[in-house]
Amino acid sequence: MNLKKFLMASGLSMVLVLGACGGGEDEGTDEPATEEDSGASSGDVDAEGIAQSTCASCHGEDFSGAVGPALAGTSLSEDEFEETVRNGRGQMPAYSEDEINNEELSALYTFFSEQ
């Protein structure tokens, strides 16, 4: 039981750290946008990166299941997936929009359903 608490705390900590690392745009620079900058400004989401940092500790590195069930090739509808992430289920904690925003959540669903 202590391992489950540790894994949940670790996963939540990773989400919080990633949320703190991202964010603000550079203001007042006259430099041309780089390829990296243009990807960030176009709204592209690194679903695989979010999945690795947020989900892999419980759902397995390849998302085929571990402490939590398999996410790869999920049979959940997008609404069911969103409901589970937002409200939690069983040992899975709930993730607020501050932790995983709606665009990221939609990208995660697409990523997992295409696995």
Give the pLDDT confidence score for residue 56 in this predicted structure: 94
Give the integer Cα–Cα distance in Å for 51 and 55: 5
CB 100 within 8 A of CB 50: yes
Q: Under a CB-based contact definition with an 8 Å cutoff, are residues 69 and 59 in contact? A: yes
48 phi/psi in degrees, rounded to 5? -65, -40
CB 95 within 8 A of CB 86: yes
Q: Is the pLDDT of residue 71 over 70?
A: yes
pLDDT of residue 13: 55
Residues 6+ apart with CB under 8 A from 43: 103
pLDDT in tens, 80-97: 999 999 999 999 999 999
Residue 51 near residue 111 (C-beta atoms within 8 A): yes
